[in-house]
Amino acid sequence: MLNFLSQSNQKQIVGIALNPGIGLEVAILDKTNSTVINYGRRKVDYNFSTREIQDYVQFKTALVELIDLMKIPPKSLTYLVLPNVYFDFIEVPQVVTNAEIKTAILSKAEEFYIFKREEPISGWCQVASYENTSQKKIVYSSFQKSAIEELKEIMSDIGLQLVGIETAHSATLRGLYLTGQIDDVILENAPWTTMIVGTNSYTLFQMEGKNLIDYSEVPLAIKSFSTEEAYQAIVSSAAQLLNNHETDKLYIISQTDDICAEVLKRQMQYDKEIIAIDSNKFSKKPLLEVVSTIDYSKVNSMTLSVLGAAHLKSNFGVILNVLADDPSASMGVYFTTNILGVPIDVSSEFVMKISVLLSAVFFIIFGSIAGICAIVDGKEQARISDLSSQIQAIDNQILAATDGKSKQEIDMNTIIDEIASMNVTAINFYDSIATDIPKNVWLTQYYNKAGDKIAVRGVAQSIVDIYEYYKNLRIVSPQSDIKLTELKVITEDLSQGNKYLSDIALDKDTERLYSFEIANTQIEFEQQANNKSSRNQQENPQETYMQKIQQDENEIVKTPLDGIENTSGMKPVK
């Protein structure tokens, strides 16, 4: 299956890059260890005024020579990188369609002077997401459509399968990622800046991790300056632009023999770390290990853009392939992956093969499942029919045994609802015992009868606490008619030791206690009080009824909660 899926995708991507001042480069990479299998270069002129190849015959001749010398097989997948013509950002609504994005890009690109006489063709992608906003940011690159058609024809004549054309800007960033020199800033998602110095301008890319944040290109006719003046012109003009953005690292990449990145680094007045990369005559070694080359004298000045063309990294940012939607580039590569150790370029053809294969597999699986289900369903239907016949026979026997009288059905939901509605009042009062009890209130007795008769007795250190508890009870059971039926001052010398009072952690500065009763019934408590009064009067007839009530209250205070009679069946509350 892997051989079928990868029979064409096992071919290497041939990276081709044209850089003014350097020429036409061709590179092939080993994707497993990021080494250059083969590299070559030839001179090709570029017209800065028209921003296109000066002589397409010269370009074709140089490319054919490189292909022959490097022994590149026919129909190889090729990816072409050209000098930047137009590069910009645009913001569009999140819900906009691809067709609407193309229209918006075309409208903006046509304002550029090159495209006032030439129709543009663009590649684009989203570079940043905006949280909590309806906009998204798009970066795009445009070329002359006539130039792209010319290059497609040349590739077809040579016998190469052209899968993409892209600007050198985005390819250079991808090549920088391939070398591993920006791994730390990407890992930390830190801000960093890349300065690319060319023959006729320099470009600044403001990055944050893998995200492209901003871009600016400064025209600068470097060849019109003396060597020292050229360095000073770049330093002075870049100073303000660099200060506009916070950055942790600056990468200076020189792709012209007129500027040495190391020398420019030493002259920059910049307090951040600077990394210098030369792709020119000043370079001491190639950016990656090179296995074979037909141009040993030029391999050190290999550019990052040709590396980005030869290795499309899907997990790093910006790919602006203008042929992404071109049917003729049917093998356009989206990214490269490994399956069982085999590197495979994921292209539209690869996706098509996967789709066909998965469709066939799903058809077989679902067809088998459907057949099995049909067999099982037939057996189950027969079993259900047999059970239905047995149930009908049993029903007939029951009907005959009951003389045709059907048994009365019991609606359990109705019974449960009736029981619940009868106990709503009782449940609310039981919940009241769990309401917020003020700190200095202690309950000594709780009584609840028939759900709607409640009585609570207790002691407190202040009338305010008693009122607070009474108010809480009313909130829990607003429909009840409970009242504060009793409030007394307990005259007891608190300075004397009392086990019960110490157990409930009374404030030792308190001079008095209050006993209280909150109730909507007095039946049980009055009976208890009368019973105690009758027993005490028989023992000591001289004591009055009110004196015994006072004694009862003192006993309540002195008696531990565990010994208090609980007429409701609930546990005492502390």
pLDDT tens digits, 434-460: 666 788 888 888 887 666 678 888 888
**Cβ–Cβ under 8 Å, residues 8 and 18:** no
Q: Which of 139-143, 531-535, 547-551, 569-573 has the lowest average pLDDT?
A: 569-573
Structure token pair of residue 472:
């809480």
Strands 273-278 and 249-254: what pairing? parallel
Instruction: For domain 185-282, give the CATH number.
Output: 3.30.420.40
CA 82 from chain center: how many Å? 36
Residue 411, judged by CB atoms within 10 A of its CB (0-12, 13-18, 19+), counts as: exposed
pLDDT of residue 334: 52
pLDDT of residue 313: 58
Sequence length of the chain is 574
Closest CA to 452 of 424, 476, 473, 472: 424
> pLDDT > 90: what percent of the chain?
30
- DSSP collapsed to 3 states, 89-123: EEEEECCCCHHHHHHHHHHHHCCCHHHHCCCEEEE
pLDDT tens digits, 221-230: 888 888 889 9
**Does residue 477 have a pLDDT over 90?**
no
**Does residue 374 have a pLDDT over 60?**
yes
Question: Residue 218 forms beta bridges with which residues?
Answer: 202
Could you give the CA distance from residue 18 to residue 25 in angstroms, rounded to a whole number?
Answer: 6
Cα angle, residue 569 at apex, residues 566 and 572 outer, rounded to 5° = 50
**Does residue 274 have a pLDDT over 90?**
yes
**Does residue 553 have a pLDDT over 50?**
no
List the domain boundaries for the chain: 1-179+287-346, 185-282, 428-563
Class of domain 1-179+287-346: alpha beta
**What phi and psi, each to the nearest 5 degrees, are found at residue 405?**
-95, 125
Identical topology for domains 1-179+287-346 and 185-282: yes
Could you give the CA distance from residue 129 to residue 6 in angstroms, rounded to a whole number?
Answer: 34
Question: Residue 42 forms beta bridges with which residues?
Answer: 24
**Does residue 552 have a pLDDT over 70?**
no
pLDDT of residue 9: 41
- Which segment, 262-266, 411-415, 497-501, 513-517, is predicted with the most confidence on average? 262-266
pLDDT of residue 7: 41
For the chain, the average pLDDT equals 79
**Does residue 64 have a pLDDT over 70?**
yes
- Of 155 and 223, which is predicted with more confidence? 155
Q: Which of 11-15, 64-68, 261-265, 388-392 has the lowest average pLDDT?
A: 11-15
CA 557 from chain center: how many Å? 63
pLDDT of residue 501: 55
